[in-house]
Amino acid sequence: MKSPSLFLGQADAANYRAKGFLFPIPVLMQDEQLHYRKMAKNFYHALAPEERRGYAGQSHLSFTWAYNLCTHPNVLDAVELILGPDILVHSTTVFLKPPGNSFVSWHQDATYWGLSAPRLVSAWIALSDSTTDNGCLRVIPGSHLQLREHTEIHNQNNMLTTGSTLKDTMDESLAVDVTLRAGEMSFHHANLVHGSNTNNSSGNRVGFAVRYVSPEVQHERPHHEVVLARGLDQFGYYTHLAAPPRCSFEDGLVRHRQKRQWLSEQRMDGVGESN
C-alpha cells in the first residue's frame, strides 16, 4: 500500500483545518487489518466484563501489537501532514461496540484534557467496517472553531466514562457520518464536536483510537507516559515510555491491569477517551 503522504497534500490539510476532520485515509493492508482486529478483540475479551468500560485505554503501553499499530509508518505519515515532523502518542483506546444500547454523547475532547493549544489530532483506525448502521463516529463540521460548555451526565450506556456532554443541544441535521472500511482511518480535531449512535447491526464495530500531540503542547492534567513516535521532543513536558513493550500477551495483560490501577490511583484513568 502506498503511504498516505503520496496522495494527501496541502489541500487536505487545509480541509482539515476548515472542517475539523478528514477521512477516509487508507493505512492498513488486508493482512494487517486481520491481525490487528484479532489482537484488539483478544485484548477486549480477555478483560472481565466490569473492566471493559474503564480498562480499554492505553494498551500501547503494555502490548507490542498496540504499540506497533500506533507507530505504523502509514499512520504517522498522515499525522505528519497535520502536526509536522515531531509527534507524540498521547493516548489510545480499543473500541469494541457490540450491538445494543452503547453510544457516545456529543462532546469536545479538549474540554477535559486541558491542552495549552489544540495541536492534537485523534486518529480513528477502523479494524472492521465502521458504518451508520453499526454506530460510526459522527462529527459536526466547523464546530472545532468554538469551545462550548459541557456538563457531566453519567449513563451506563455512554462509552465515554467521564459522561462529558454538551450543555447545548446540537443540530443533528448538520452531522456527518464518518463511515470507514476496515483498514481506513479518520482524523478529528481536539475541539471538534463528535459522538456516535448505537450499534443497530448484528456484529461488533471494532476500532483503535490514537491521539497524537505536538511536543510543544502542555497538558493541564497529570498524564501517563507518551511515546515519541517520530521526530524530536525539545520541550520535555511529558515523561516518555522508556522502551517499547516486548512481552507476551499474558504478561502484557498483567502489566496493563497494573498500569490501569496506577492510573486510577493517580486520577489519570479518564485520560484519552473518544469515540
- The C-alpha cell of 220 is what? 493541564
Residue 159: which pLDDT band, with cuts at 50, 70 and 90? confident
Residue 242 included in any domain: yes
Report pLDDT digits (tens) over 117-157: 999 999 999 999 999 999 999 999 998 988 887 888 888 88
Single pTM value for the model: 0.94
Range 81-103 burial, b when 16+ CB lie within 10 A, else e: bbbeebbbbbbbbbbbbbbeebb
Q: Are 115 and 190 in contact (CB under 8 A)?
A: yes
Residue 111 included in any domain: yes
Q: Are 229 and 70 in contact (CB under 8 A)?
A: yes
Residue 272 included in any domain: no
**How far is C-alpha 58 from the chain's CA centre?**
10
Residue 271 included in any domain: no
Angle value at C-alpha 21, between 16 and 27, nearest 5 degrees: 95
Residue partners of 260: CB distance under 8 A and separation at least 6: 54, 55, 57, 58, 269
Residue 134: closest CA among 192, 181, 185, 187: 181
Domain span at residue 10 reads: 4-265
Q: What is the pLDDT of residue 171?
A: 85
The C-alpha atoms of residue 53 and residue 30 are separated, in whole angstroms, by: 28
Q: What is the mean pLDDT of the chain?
A: 90
Number of domains into which the chain is organized: 1
Residue 236 included in any domain: yes
The C-alpha atoms of residue 129 and residue 158 are separated, in whole angstroms, by: 21
Residue 53 included in any domain: yes
Partners of 152 in the β-ladder: 164
The C-alpha atoms of residue 125 and residue 95 are separated, in whole angstroms, by: 10
Q: CATH code at 135?
A: 2.60.120.620
Q: Say which residue the cell 494527501 belongs to.
A: 8
Residue 200 included in any domain: yes
The C-alpha atoms of residue 75 and residue 60 are separated, in whole angstroms, by: 15
Report pLDDT digits (tens) over 211-236: 999 999 998 888 899 999 999 999 99
Report pLDDT digits (tens) over 92-120: 999 999 999 988 888 888 877 889 999 99
Phi, psi of 225 (to 5 degrees): -60, 150
Which residue type is seen at 256? H
pLDDT at 267 exceeding the cut of 90: no
Residue 7: which pLDDT band, with cuts at 50, 70 and 90? confident
Residue 48: other Cβ atoms inside 10 A = 9
DSSP 71: T
Whole-angstrom CA distances from 24 to 45, 108, 238 are 28, 21, 31
The C-alpha atoms of residue 160 and residue 274 are separated, in whole angstroms, by: 7
Residue 274 included in any domain: no
